[in-house]
Structure 1
Amino acid sequence: MVELKVNGAVRQVDAAPETPLLYVLREDLQLNGAKFGCGLGQCGACTVAIDGAPAFSCLLPVGLLAGREITTVEGLGSPDKPGPLQQAFIDEQAAQCGYCIAGMVMRAHTLLARNPSPTDDEILEHMSPNLCRCGAHMRIVAAIRRASSRKEASRSQRGAL
């Protein structure tokens, strides 16, 4: 048995410690946002956040993750109530085929958590490990920029109150 904290909930899974997190998320926990792309940590389709940092879940054995905070795209919102970053991706129509999008959203989430107002260069650099074969990169950057401006607007409104 392995105990994992996923999206704020502690979950027990019957998995060998060397099992990749991606398999546990998809098969045991039914969290299917993260996708199997390359299995080598080269495409980013499987990106999740571990303690706030982006990580390729296809490479991470669950035995190393006890006590760590794992966040998946499902932890940011739902189809009925998407989170602000997810809504920005929807508004900018940043998904074409959609295969890479959960990983893109999670990598963007980790960027905005540590830098709420990134420049375009910072966005491009941070997002570079994740690939989009459809070529939706500019819409993805626009979505991140939109989410960033929403955070800034929200902060400004709170400060004005």
Structure 2
Amino acid sequence: MAKLQISLKGRALRYLSAREHSRMELARKLARYAQEGDDIEALLDTLEAAKLLSQSRFSESLIHRRAHRYGNSRILSELQSHGIDAESLVNIKADLADGEIARAREVWRKKFNQPAADASERAKQMRFLLQRGFSHRAIQAAVKGGSDDDDC
């Protein structure tokens, strides 16, 4: 039995029902299935007008999925790679800055949970947090330890 061909709009709705997508990501996924005469940009405009596709919802969703594991620079880099505009990135950066130290401490606690015994262990812990995209200020606060009350 032949497989049923799903329309481009049906495929877009299937993707969006699974999770939020950025406009760029959805266009890339749909481009594989586009046929002669299909206008992906018009379809995306229609989805945005119907509020089925939203860059702000996508940004919130990505931040929610990544914030408990990654630092601000890694999250912002990922948002930028998805085509989020610079003005939105500035607002998101300001919102994320508030809790970065607490998030860095939590990631550090889950991985290490004890202060470094020597300089090489401390460097290892700092590299781990740096690779996760945390700022130097947040890394210093997390590795130093202390309570969550001394957030700068």
The answer to which structure has the higher strand fraction is 1
Under TM normalisation by the shorter chain, which class is it?
A: 0.3 to 0.5
Compare CA radii of gyration and give the structure with the larger one: 2
The answer to which structure has the higher helix fraction is 2
TM-score by length of 2: 0.34
TM-score by length of 1: 0.33
